[in-house]
Copies of this chain bind each other. A is one copy, B any other.
Amino acid sequence: MLKRLASELRNFPGVTRKNPIGPLVEKFADHPENVIASFGEDAAVIEVGDEGLVFAADGIWDKLMRADPFWAGYCSVLVNTHDIAAMGGTPLAMVSICSTSNEGICNRLVEGINTGMDKLNVPMVGGHTNPDCEYNAIDVAIMGTIDLDHVIYSTTANPGDDIVVGIDLEGRVHPSFQYNYDTTTMKDKEILLKQLGSMEKLAQQNLVTAGKDISNPGMVGTAGMMIETCNQGAEIDINSIPKPKNIDMIDWIKMYPGMGFVVTTPPEKTEKAIEVFEKSNLTSKKIGKVRDHRKLIIKDRDKKETIFNFEKDKITGISCRKPKKQHR
């Protein structure tokens, strides 16, 4: 079981498709002083006057677009708001690039975007259309505000920290896409905003050292990406992974959940962090520890299996770039 889990994750496209990011990022030049953090983070952090801004973009996997344009449009809003929320920020506005020559697809795409906007309370303020395109695609960018004294970075976990997840388990495998566990379309706006706001609360109370939203690589894959960019390793106990009862672990481990975050906490703050997640309508558990051995290991009681050895393997391959300022 453990061997199979490790192998499934190692070869899961949701994880392996992150491989080309590192080399791409290295090609972009260094940044001016006002860019506090950028690659390796869910959103770039920029200082403008007295304001802190966060800026991110996400393209929707073309598999998902082919499967269900409404869901692709909806997800384009969901993943972008998550990028801002994961940093402890507040979404401000989005812009979109809609590429399709098919009016039916376009309408369903826009309906999905509209539904997402309503649920997650972020306006779409502009963008671009490619109405004569040979492909169908939706790309969205988002900006938000952030308190620069309380940012949750992805690159700042310390060895010895606990790894904690906060995740919504009440949902369904999305009928259009087997790797998506939808927990948001059936819930009220108030609950969703409370869940999204959990990270800002953790930031304001200085409870976490690092954090990220759980994206296509799934819960363990996302923890792996974070640990890799932190230049650390991790041990994750598969028996402590929160999971919906009716889904197999092999499937669950590869799923993109509608609402979920992974954070690292100093052990003395773990209980408080879990409390913040639970009060925000999320299920929260400690699932492992940050280690200094540069390996992503899963364990089942006394058995252990290495998924990645970052001395030679990579997920994104982004080398660790610590934020230029850290106020905490």
A99→B141 contact, CB < 8 A: no
Q: How large is the interface on A (under 10, 10 to 19, 20 to 34, 35 or more residues)?
A: 35 or more
Which of B55, B57, B143 is close to A97, meaning CB atoms less than 8 Å apart?
A: B57
Instruction: Return chain B residues, CB-CB under 8 Å to A111.
Output: 27
Bound Cα distance A44, B93 (Å): 9
B13→A43 contact, CB < 8 A: no
A162 at the interface (CB under 8 A from B): no
Give A121-143 interface residues, CB cut-off 8 Å to B: 123-135, 137, 139, 141, 143
Q: Which residue of B lies closest to A100 (CB)?
A: B20
A123→B35 contact, CB < 8 A: yes
A309 shortest CB reach to chain B, Å = 22
Bound Cα distance A59, B145 (Å): 25
A130 shortest CB reach to chain B, Å = 5
A123→B56 contact, CB < 8 A: no
A326 shortest CB reach to chain B, Å = 18
A17 at the interface (CB under 8 A from B): yes
A324 at the interface (CB under 8 A from B): no
- A17, A93, A135 interface centre (most CB from chain B within 10 Å): A93
A104 at the interface (CB under 8 A from B): no
B95→A137 contact, CB < 8 A: no
Contact with B along A49-80 (1 / 0, CB 8 A): 11101011111011000000000000000000
Bound Cα distance A222, B17 (Å): 40
Bound Cα distance A99, B128 (Å): 16
B126→A95 contact, CB < 8 A: no
What are 27 A-B pairs with beta-carbon distances under 8 A? A17-B130, A17-B132, A21-B129, A24-B110, A27-B111, A28-B113, A29-B118, A31-B125, A34-B92, A35-B93, A35-B125, A44-B125, A46-B93, A46-B125, A48-B145, A49-B51, A51-B51, A55-B95, A56-B95, A57-B97, A57-B139, A58-B97, A59-B139, A62-B134, A97-B97, A137-B139, A141-B141
